[in-house]
Chains A and B, each alone.
Chain A
Amino acid sequence: MSMKMSLFAAICRQHMQLAWRGGQTVLAVSFLFIAVTLLPFGLGPELKLLRALAPGLLWVVLAIALLATLDRLFQADFEDGALDRLMLLPLPFEAAVLAKLLGHFLALVVPLLVSVPLAGLLLNIEGARVPLVLAAMACGAPALVLSGGIGAALAVSVRRGGLLTVLIAMPFYVPVLIFGAATARVALEGGVGIWPYLGVLAALSGAALLLAPWAIAAALRSALR
Chain B
Amino acid sequence: MLKALENISAFYANPTRFMGLAARLHAPLWALALALLAYGLYRVAFVPDDYQQGATVKIMFVHVPAAWMALFGYSFIFFASVTALVFRHPLGHVAARAAAPIGAVFTLIALVTGSLWGQPMWGTWWVWDARLTSVLVLFFIYLGYIALWQAIDEPTRAARAAAILAIVGFVNVPIVKFSVDWWNTLHQPASVSRLARPALHADFLYPLLIMGGAFLVLFLALTLTRMQMEVLRQKLRVKANLHGHKG
User: Chain A interface (Cβ within 8 Å of chain B)?
Assistant: 150-151, 154-155, 157-158, 161, 164, 167-168, 170-172, 174-175, 178-179, 182, 186, 204, 211, 215, 218-219, 222-223, 225
List chain A residues, Cβ under 8 A from B172: 171-172, 175
Q: Is the CB of B171 within 8 A of A168?
A: no
Where chain B touches its partner, the secondary structure class is: helix
Q: Is the CB of B176 within 8 A of A175?
A: yes
Q: Is the CB of B151 within 8 A of A158?
A: yes
A168 to B169, CA, bound (A): 9
Q: Is the CB of A219 within 8 A of B152?
A: no
Q: Is the CB of A154 within 8 A of B137?
A: no
Q: Is the CB of A222 within 8 A of B144?
A: no
Minimal beta-carbon separation of B104 from chain A (angstroms): 13
Minimal beta-carbon separation of A144 from chain B (angstroms): 13
Minimal beta-carbon separation of B51 from chain A (angstroms): 36
A215 to B166, CA, bound (A): 11
* Given A178-B182, A182-B186, also A171-B144 (CB < 8 A): yes
The residue of chain A having its C-beta at the shortest distance from the C-beta of B161 within the complex is: A154
Q: Is the CB of B179 within 8 A of A175?
A: yes
A150 to B147, CA, bound (A): 15
| Residue tally, chain B, CB below 8 Å to A | 29
Cβ contacts A to B, 16 pairs, < 8 Å:
A154-B164, A157-B152, A164-B144, A164-B148, A167-B147, A172-B172, A174-B180, A175-B178, A178-B180, A215-B164, A215-B167, A215-B168, A218-B164, A222-B161, A222-B164, A225-B156
A168-B144, A171-B176, A215-B167 given; name 16 further pairs at CB < 8 Å: A150-B165, A155-B148, A157-B152, A158-B152, A164-B144, A167-B143, A171-B169, A182-B183, A211-B168, A215-B164, A215-B168, A218-B164, A219-B164, A222-B157, A223-B161, A225-B156
Interface residues of B in 163-204 (CB under 8 A from A): 164-165, 167-169, 171-172, 175-176, 178-180, 182-183, 186
* Given A157-B152, A175-B179, A178-B180, also A211-B171 (CB < 8 A): yes
Minimal beta-carbon separation of A137 from chain B (angstroms): 17
Count A-B pairs with CB separation below 8 Å. Answer: 73
The residue of chain A having its C-beta at the shortest distance from the C-beta of B148 within the complex is: A154
* Given A154-B165, A211-B168, also A170-B148 (CB < 8 A): no
Minimal beta-carbon separation of B143 from chain A (angstroms): 6
B135 within 8 A of A: no
B140 within 8 A of A: yes
List chain B residues, Cβ under 8 A from A218: 160, 164
List chain A residues, Cβ under 8 A from B221: none
Q: Which of A164, A178, A215, A225 contacts B179 (CB 8 A)?
A: A178
B141 within 8 A of A: yes
Minimal beta-carbon separation of B134 from chain A (angstroms): 9
A211 to B172, CA, bound (A): 11
Minimal beta-carbon separation of B19 from chain A (angstroms): 27
B140, B151, B172 pick with most chain A CB within 10 angstroms: B151
List chain A residues, Cβ under 8 A from B141: 171
What 10 A-B pairs are tightest by C-beta distance, nearest first? Answer: A222-B160, A175-B179, A168-B144, A158-B151, A178-B183, A167-B144, A178-B179, A171-B141, A154-B161, A215-B168
A158 to B147, CA, bound (A): 11
A158, A170, A186 pick with most chain B CB within 10 angstroms: A158
Interface residues of B in 17-54 (CB under 8 A from A): none
The residue of chain A having its C-beta at the shortest distance from the C-beta of B167 within the complex is: A215
